[in-house]
Chains A and B, each alone.
Chain A
Amino acid sequence: MFQYALRRLLISIPVIALATFIIFGAVTITGDPLQELRQAPNITQEQIDQIRESRGLDQPFYVQYWRWVTDIPTEGFGDYLISPRPIWPDLQRVMGNTLQLVIAAEVLAFVVAIALGTISAKRQYSVFDYATTTISFFGYSMPSFWFALILQLIVVQIFFATGVRIFPIANLSSADPGTGLAFVLDRMHHLVLPVISLAIFSIASYSRYMRASMLEVINSDYVRTARAKGLREGKITTRHAMRNALIPTITVAALSFGTLMSGAIVIETVFGLDGMGRYFILQLGRRDPYPIMAWLTVVAVIIVIFNLIADLVYGYLDPRIRYD
């Protein structure tokens, strides 16, 4: 298992290296970063020349790339193009906020989907099964911002009707969030609606995978063997069936983590959260390539890390994979 983990970890290094190259290349060909500055009336040609010099923009592409990529470990992602502020502290802040949202949504989606999928499969063609598959089809079809707006609407209507604010519909924290546990509870309270709206799509998708793989496993020979041993039905389901059925579901969940990250961009905008999505859109408007490249690199690393975690869980669940 240790060897397997180490091998997986080593494979991610070239993946990230390649990702940085593609990111740099793709952002660079979108245009001259100085163009925006040239149009600005209060910036002189000297200042522009100085920026070009200091950023190495007069150098060939590969030199620029090498400079940028080798500076990442020592200087974070450097400063913004115009203002001499470092990018990394901003990125760190929004990344923390987004990860709270996305991880909470992923965990919620996974737990709920496993339960729904398992029960659906155990009671195939029951009312519960039909209801779940129909509702999940709906959840799969509707965009997440629609659910976000509907949830906001419901909460607002409840407030109008009863005067109770069940959940905040915007921001990450109250004006005065407090510290310690009070801060954490306040944050969780604020994240309820965003997490639910973000998780609905994933619940719908994962539960269908879980149901399908559970149905396959329930009718397998080894589940029959388990039954012939005289095990309880609950134990047959959890110990023999679910463990096998989780393997394909985990793959899907890990691969969809990127989708969840992009879903977060929309959700953060709807709920006005200070996360990576909002940050990205803001920087895109400023035409500053450096925070964009930094952002893309961070997302690439996050996705690689989650794939790594999925691989490890996969290896834990399926002994046949560990030793290949």
Chain B
Amino acid sequence: MTEPLLSIRDLVTEFDTPDGVVSAVNGVSYDVFPGETVGVVGESGSGKSVTVMTVLGLISQPPGRIAGGEILLEGRDLLRSSAKEMRKVRGDEIAMIFQDPMTSLNPVLTIGDQLSEALLVHNGMSDSEARKRVIELLELVGVPNAEQRYDQYPHEYSGGMRQRAMIAMAIANQPKVLIADEPTTALDVTIQAQVLEVLESAKRETDAGTILITHDLGLIAEMADRVVVMYGGKVVEMGTVEEIFHAPRHPYTLGLLSSLPRLDVDLERLEPIVGSPPSLINLPPGCAFHPRCSLARGRERCRREVPDLVGVGDGHVSACHYTDEMAEEIRRVERETGAAFGAGGVA
């Protein structure tokens, strides 16, 4: 196996708040290999965004605190890098596409200025070279009339165009790792499809390892090679996109899948995950998911013991005490909702 490009190891990020310490990220580990897309899914507050913000060093401290772990970019630990070294990593080796293109661009600077700034800060280009390159980038992401659009302000761009510009900004320096934090959430569906296409081609262009954060499982199915499922600041399941979608080995993943409306299967009903996401100040003891879990059935072990991530297949891991009961659970859900996961593959 090749070496991972980016390796997050046992990362713990906490925030001090008046109500107590919020453990937003609670021992998260995952790898990103060159050229692959890792999809990170989970509810709001599962720690998926905070993890990548920590990778980029964008957590303000205080109130944030990185209490442990390592973030290795090609073997270098970013958490031990100086502020100056981190500045060189940001936007150059690791770039990020943010969720809301409406607010993520500076309203008082032209799009061209904001994009060329990303180039100028990392390599000694002249202004006219940067302008030329930015116009190329804008054309690449499908902004028409890039030459004129260069001198326009964000308010003269539509939402989809702004997100294209954000993507162009992120890939400007051919980053090794591209992080897209809910890149399509703020856009309407038709624009989403176009932006995804741009994202795909941008990824091909740079051959960057990509982290795609979303709560849209459809997006994951389409774009990701591997999937990381997060819950309560922890990774609860990780596997290839096929494993996660056809043979989930964690009841939370199954819950996410069975609450997803699908066009390809005639569902009788959707099965929601009962309850609400856990408070990160006061995580439930044992398995954080047990109060909402359909598999726990009040069992003592779920309340007492924090489950470790254990291998359930080649590279497929799950943090559940009862992964061996998952095949039966999937059949139950299939019976009750009419969903078909193709669970024959589950051992």
Contact = CB atoms under 8 A, between A and B. Distances in A.
Interface of A: 220-222, 224-232, 239-240, 243-244, 247, 317-320
B332 interface: no
Interface in B59-108: 87-92, 95-96, 98, 100, 103-108
Contacts of A244: 106-108
A222 B106 contact: yes
Nearest to B169: A229
A75 B100 CA distance: 61
A228 B96 contact: yes
Given A224-B104, A228-B56, A228-B58, 9 more contacts: A222-B105, A227-B58, A228-B96, A230-B92, A230-B118, A232-B87, A243-B109, A244-B108, A320-B153
A222 B107 contact: yes
Contacts, number: 72
A244 B108 CA distance: 7
B117 interface: yes
B98 to A, nearest CB: 6
A319 B114 CA distance: 14
B189 to A, nearest CB: 23
A227 B88 CA distance: 11
A267 to B, nearest CB: 36
B105 A318 contact: no
A230 B83 CA distance: 10
Closest 6 CB pairs of A and B: A230-B91, A230-B90, A229-B91, A221-B103, A222-B106, A221-B104
From A225, A244, A319, name the one whose CB has the most chain B CB atoms within 10 angstroms: A225
Given A221-B98, A319-B153, A319-B155, A228 B105 contact: no
19 contacts: A221-B100, A222-B104, A222-B105, A224-B58, A224-B98, A224-B104, A226-B117, A228-B96, A230-B88, A230-B122, A231-B91, A231-B117, A232-B121, A240-B106, A240-B109, A317-B108, A318-B108, A319-B110, A320-B155
A222 B89 contact: no
A203 B106 CA distance: 28
Interface residues of B, number: 29
Contact of A225 (B87, B106, B110, B153): B106
Nearest to B155: A320
Nearest to A316: B108
A229 B92 CA distance: 7
A222 B103 contact: yes
A318 B106 CA distance: 11
A147 B92 CA distance: 53
Contacts of B110: 319
Contact of A229 (B90, B100, B153): B90
Given A317-B108, A319-B108, A320-B155, A225 B98 contact: yes
Contacts of B105: 222, 225
A49 B107 CA distance: 66
A201 to B, nearest CB: 29
A319 B112 CA distance: 14
Contacts of B106: 222, 225-226, 240, 244
B88 A225 contact: no
A27 to B, nearest CB: 44
A222 B103 CA distance: 6
Contacts of B89: 230
A220 B88 CA distance: 22
A229 B107 contact: no
Contacts of B103: 220-222
Contacts of B92: 230
Contact of A231 (B56, B98, B121): B121
Contacts of B87: 230-232
B107 A320 contact: yes
Contacts of A240: 106, 109
A319 B113 CA distance: 14
Nearest to A223: B106
Interface string B226-257: 00000000000000000000000000000000
B85 to A, nearest CB: 11
Contacts of A228: 56, 58, 90-91, 95-96, 98
Interface string B172-210: 000000000000000000000000000000000000000
B19 to A, nearest CB: 18
B186 to A, nearest CB: 11
A240 B109 CA distance: 8
B90 A319 contact: no
Nearest to A243: B108
A146 B238 CA distance: 70
Contacts of B98: 221, 224-225, 228
Contacts of B95: 228
B107 A318 contact: yes
Nearest to A240: B106
A215 to B, nearest CB: 13
A232 B103 CA distance: 21
Contacts of A319: 107-108, 110, 153, 155
Contacts of A221: 98, 100, 103-104
Contacts of B90: 227-230
Contacts of A231: 87, 91, 117, 121
Interface in B115-173: 117-118, 121-122, 153, 155, 166, 169
